[in-house]
Structure 1
Amino acid sequence: MGSPCGRTHSFSDLALSDNLLNNLFNSKSYSQFTIFYIPELSIFIKKKDLEFSLDTPSIFWNCYLKLNNLLNNLLNIKLFLGEIDMIGAQTLVKMLEKYHVEYIFGVPGDTSIKFYEALYDNQSGIRHVMARDERSASFMADAYARLSHKPGVCECPSGAGSLYTVPGIAEANASSIPVIVITSDIPLSGEGKQTITELDTQKLYESITKWATVVKSVNKIPEVIRRAFRIATTGRPGAVHLSLPKEALCDEFSNSAKDLYADENCCTYPAFRTRGARTDLEALVDHMAGAKRLVIIVGGGANHSQAGTSIQSMAEWMAAPVVSTISGQGIMPDDHPMALGVIGDNGFHPHAHRAVEEADVLLYVGCKMGSVSTINWSMPSEKPGRKILQIDLNPEMLGNNFQNTWSVAGDARLVAEDLVTLLKGKTAHRQASDWVNSLNQQRLDFWKQAQQAFQADTTPLKPQRIIAELNRHLDETTIVISDAGTPTPYITRFLKLAAKNSRFIIPRAYGGLGYAIPAVVGAHFARPDARLVGLFGDGSLGMSAGELETISRLNIPVVLIHFNNSSFGWIKALQKLHCNKKYFSVDFNANNPARVAEGFGLKALSIETPEQLVQGLDMAFNARGPVFLDVKSEPELEDIPPVYSWMTCQAKHDKA
């Protein structure tokens, strides 16, 4: 309605002082009202519904009455001076909203309908992303967390739904990725009575999460959510599981609305970063300053901590080569003169291995020194006088696999920042030594030798040729997501992440298949501006093909590249090397994955020649929607992949 002077105002036009609000709402402050959204109630209000006149003092009371009536009509809830009626499912949604959760990945089930209803009624912006499989939902949450630096949230129903999430939750936890998985569960009253889908989820998840619990009371939901986010994001980040029985989701929340708050520190990760002790840092600097051949080895922890800028500054100041594990790849642009490449068993660079073996001081940053990066703890080999230094957020990892000369517990980025400051105050800027120059010359020679495979016109296509053509399209907007199967050694060895902000994501904790296709979905919501690339083999496609429909439904602009060699190629290569070519249960029938992708609604091409590969990639990177490229690739039997232990074994066979 209009005022005598013809002015019409929305509720937001008022200067809502604390005094005015206290008078208006009987000493209950509502200072968080906004134009369209009332945080205390998780409701969006249309601006046109809140128009009123400013012509009389009674407008404030009239406005309150109109607002109250509107809320009652919209949601059939009562507003009693700041206290609202909510069931547990609504309380859960409200708390997730308080932690700025924007996306929840999941699959519906019988036990989850009240949670879904609460998400439907809540219009504050939490979007549910439906997956085709609970395992995929957990992989989506994992990738989302890796790229957004916010905890990923996934949900599943009881019973089999919980079981299906295990691979993804285990991977996230072991990779130090904060993922919160919410299970809607059977009623507490049905426990022990053979209720369908009954499962002890707490025991199921205890061994693969930092914390697993059952929320038995609706009034505990706010407290448990706060603890879940705190545990997931602090210390060594990891996964958390929450089981909410029917009572917790459906009973009425009777605590004060004041309990619905979040700890803003735990909305992102790492939360509460810790610096290294000053005395420890100074001792570390002394060891580094005395090095003649210092090499920095970075792992996944350095990437999670976003330590790249400081690592690069340290490398440039000390003229120290930087090598990475697979999870640490991309910490520095690959074309940087101090970035020598990948070490370990899988997809290694020989010049990176040489740097490690010839170094007199090795500084490990955010690296577990596990079996792959150390080739079953054979690298670095024993060398008189060599010093091993280690920085890790988790004190339990310090000196766990090698005898350290010195260790520092702390966040990789903060420790690296402090080291740069201390080094610049204590040491002179170093120039690249003859040794570093010789390593770079070996790197140049390596890439020259690789050109033959990059330009090979043979069919089926060599994996090296596929990746070389892919490299032409990579820029700062590109995020490459790979499965842990057959393509991995070629990707880690030949993929060039030269752009500063490009990223490479791969599940390395357990190496489970079926990651890349669903992970693309989570990556899209974390980085909607990015150009996504998914790489996978036959085994992975078979485990996650259903998510092609999800990608099509969401119209995610992704280039999916299938390395098709019609086998479980990794296992077949092992059978060649170690079982005298006794190939058993590793081959597939000939098939047409491109037709499958088309059936799900993607644009798809079958690629067999170099010319088709070039044209297909050009088309895919110019497309606005998802494109599936089924590339017939050379089996591992033709050319042993760049896996150090395999190449060593093959060399022994050749000599015999």
Structure 2
Amino acid sequence: MQLNGAEIVIECLKEQGVDTIFGYPGGAILNVYDELYKHRDEIRHILTSHEQGASHAADGYARATGKVGVCLATSGPGATNLVTGIATAYMDSIPIVAITCNVGVSLLGKDSFQEIDITGITMPITKYSFIVKDAAKLADTIRKAFRIAKSGRPGPVLVDIPKDVTAAVTEYECQELGKYVPEHPHINEEKIRNVLSMLETAKRPYVFVGGGAVLSGASDELKEFVDKLDAPVTDSLMGKGAFPGTDPRYTGMLGMHGTKTSNYGVSECDLLVVLGARFSDRVTGNTQTFAKNAKILQIDIDAAEINKNVLVTEEIIGDVKEVLSILNRHLKQQDHAEWLERIESYKEKYPLKYHPDVLTGPFIIEEIYRQTKGDALIVTEVGQHQMWAAQYYKYTKPRTLLTSGGLGTMGYGLGASMGAKVGCPDKTVVNIAGDGCFRMNMNEIATAVRHNIPIIEVVVNNHVLGMVRQWQDLFYDERYSATVLRDSVDFAKVAEAMGAVGIHVETQDEFKAAFEKALTLNRPVVIDCQIGSDDKVWPMVAPGADIKEAFDEEDMKNEQSV
């Protein structure tokens, strides 16, 4: 049948099963939006307050559902406003397809009004960037974009379409979307034998779980593997929920703000099994001393991650779920009772703790956990509140912590929480924010109100840029350069001005009551929580130090008293 380019875009989205799009219109993309209007009963469009909010919402939708998220933007500044969200998705391997429209083909390269080379800009932060100058190639390009986004190691893909291509008419033939069967690398049998030998001869194994275990859906296989190996488990920020945080073998997060138990345990183990993790500097600290007593086994779908940051003893290139399935069939039951007892003694000696009598970030997170019974989707911005959310909420299922791990994007969480709630409407969705982060994209509260998206926004408000100030306090002799945010902004009133419910709290009891109320309202709610400016995330490892050198408030007091 004969269709124009805009009609083909919408038909291809329908082919891919897309039910929700996040975006912001403009002149170059008007043809697509006109066609989207005709299909508004089939595809829901969420008009965000800013294109960055649209890209983060598509990302949150993808993380929460496991499907490909989709966002739209017009040319020039509309397209460039997507860049931070695309980079966020790229760093955390999140499948989104960003569709932008550009000036007409004849105007490309002439500094035309609102022209930008968005494919060139996004080339380093996408799996692939397309510009489609021929309407006859449009359908196949969009189909390819979705296939690339979700295959192998997932990630974002951009499709840029000049405006005249959206108007051009060409032949279109509908294709039914068959069941997606991921292509996995061939797994070397000799590697499997070598790995089984490593697993069965280890005396002090430790399992380190990364985001790849979440993306591959490997939770069941992971639990069976850990039980068979009889080993303690730690995770990265991105790996939260792949292994239950309530399991006795779980020891908390690893790295800069990981538990002392995990940091000490990994430093003492003789085999570190790394599942879908990329050895971020926030995890390893000093790479020269990281797990120096251990053989390291890395299982990852991306060969580029092998020996990139840390040299490994053995690797298997493959999907974590598939590799663990194979290993589970052959691995004999192991017994490491003595090793587990040592790790348990660390857990008892070095628990996470905080000041119990005042409103603090950790108290807020634990109260959210208590009231949601651990069954909420937790989204975060980036900073101290993010680390507290990682430390004090017990994640028992994958895709229940949505956070910007690799890029560390302040302003990510509010858009992402909207995407998560749209994708999972039956779930309670809570975005944990700092006041610095909330300022960046708080205009998306208006989006949540406009589209009746009942998210709960909890602002951990210490009136400073908390994590940066923590570094200034510890490493810059308390020179608080540009980190103090003491002004007259009232976040509760701002929320009310945009049509949401705003609540100001200063005590533990006030927060308990406010959050309990928020759970019943089925409306967007902002809870502005006043905490101390000098509260810190503990434990901490100084940048570039050995992770065994984790210290906390008590350690600092002891050092100062000497």
TM-score by length of 1: 0.81
Q: Does 1:516 align with 2:418?
A: no
SS in 1 for 2:477: coil
| Structure 1 pair 362–641 and aligned structure 2 pair: CA distance change class (3 A) | closer
CA contact (8 A) 2:265 2:343 kept: yes
Task: Kindly report the root-mean-square deviation, in angstroms, between the aligned alpha carbons of the 2 structures.
Answer: 2.1
2:114 pairs, out of 186, 197, 207, with 197
| Structure 1 pair 124–222 and aligned structure 2 pair: CA distance change class (3 A) | farther
Question: Displacement of 1:380 after TM fit?
Answer: 2.5
Post-superposition CA distance 1:10-33 (Å, at most 9, x none): xxxxxxxxxxxxxxxxxxxxxxxx
Q: Does 1:88 align with 2:41?
A: no
1:393-542, aligned counterparts within 5 Å? 393-423=301-331, 427=332, 429-431=333-335, 433-447=337-351, 450=353, 453=355, 456-458=356-358, 461-475=359-373, 477-497=375-395, 499-500=396-397, 503-542=400-439
Question: Displacement of 1:379 after TM fit?
Answer: 5.3
1:547-562, aligned counterparts within 5 Å? 547-562=444-459
SS in 2 for 1:481: strand
Match of 2:260 in 1: 350
CA contact (8 A) 1:265 1:271 kept: no
CA contact (8 A) 1:364 1:389 kept: yes
SS in 2 for 1:645: coil
Partner AA of 1:302 in structure 2: A
Match of 1:278 in 2: 189
Q: Percent identity?
A: 27
Query: Hey, which bits of structure 1, 4+ residues long, moved more than 6 A?
Result: none
Partner AA of 1:312 in structure 2: K
Higher mean displacement: 640-649 or 90-99: 640-649
TM-score by length of 2: 0.94
Q: Does 1:654 align with 2:560?
A: yes
Q: Does 1:627 align with 2:525?
A: yes
Post-superposition CA distance 1:235-263 (Å, at most 9, x none): 2211111110011101112x2x43x3255
1:328-407, aligned counterparts within 5 Å? 328-346=239-257, 348-377=258-287, 380-383=290-293, 386-407=294-315
Distance in 1, matches of 2:286 and 2:441, equals 31
Post-superposition CA distance 1:445-492 (Å, at most 9, x none): 544x62x63xx223xx22122122122123364110111123122222
Partner AA of 2:337 in structure 1: S
Match of 2:229 in 1: 318
| Structure 1 pair 655–109 and aligned structure 2 pair: CA distance change class (3 A) | farther
Distance in 2, matches of 1:137 and 1:527, equals 17
CA contact (8 A) 2:376 2:428 kept: yes
Question: Displacement of 1:520 after TM fit?
Answer: 0.8
Distance in 1, matches of 2:67 and 2:221, equals 22
Q: Does 1:592 align with 2:509?
A: no
1:5-404, aligned counterparts within 5 Å? 83=1, 85-122=2-39, 125-253=42-170, 255=171, 257-258=172-173, 260-261=174-175, 264-266=178-180, 271-274=182-185, 276-346=187-257, 348-377=258-287, 380-383=290-293, 386-404=294-312
CA contact (8 A) 1:151 1:229 kept: yes
Larger radius of gyration: 1
Post-superposition CA distance 1:598-644 (Å, at most 9, x none): 11111121000111011112112232222211000122x35454332
Match of 1:57 in 2: none
| Structure 1 pair 88–519 and aligned structure 2 pair: CA distance change class (3 A) | same
CA contact (8 A) 2:63 2:399 kept: no
| Structure 1 pair 120–549 and aligned structure 2 pair: CA distance change class (3 A) | same
Partner AA of 1:397 in structure 2: E
Question: Displacement of 1:564 after TM fit?
Answer: 0.5
Question: Displacement of 1:205 after TM fit?
Answer: 1.1
Post-superposition CA distance 1:326-370 (Å, at most 9, x none): 111111221111222110113x11111122112111110101012
Distance in 2, matches of 1:249 and 1:411, equals 38
| Structure 1 pair 238–157 and aligned structure 2 pair: CA distance change class (3 A) | same
Partner AA of 1:550 in structure 2: T
Partner AA of 1:620 in structure 2: A
Question: Displacement of 1:211 after TM fit?
Answer: 0.9
CA contact (8 A) 2:241 2:400 kept: yes
Distance in 2, matches of 1:146 and 1:272, equals 20
Higher relative contact order, chain-length normalized (CA < 8 Å, sep 6+): 2
Question: Displacement of 1:124 after TM fit?
Answer: 6.0
Distance in 2, matches of 1:624 and 1:122, equals 28
Question: Displacement of 1:280 after TM fit?
Answer: 1.4
SS in 1 for 2:137: helix
SS in 1 for 2:281: coil
Question: Displacement of 1:431 after TM fit?
Answer: 4.2
Question: Displacement of 1:145 after TM fit?
Answer: 1.0
| Structure 1 pair 339–271 and aligned structure 2 pair: CA distance change class (3 A) | same
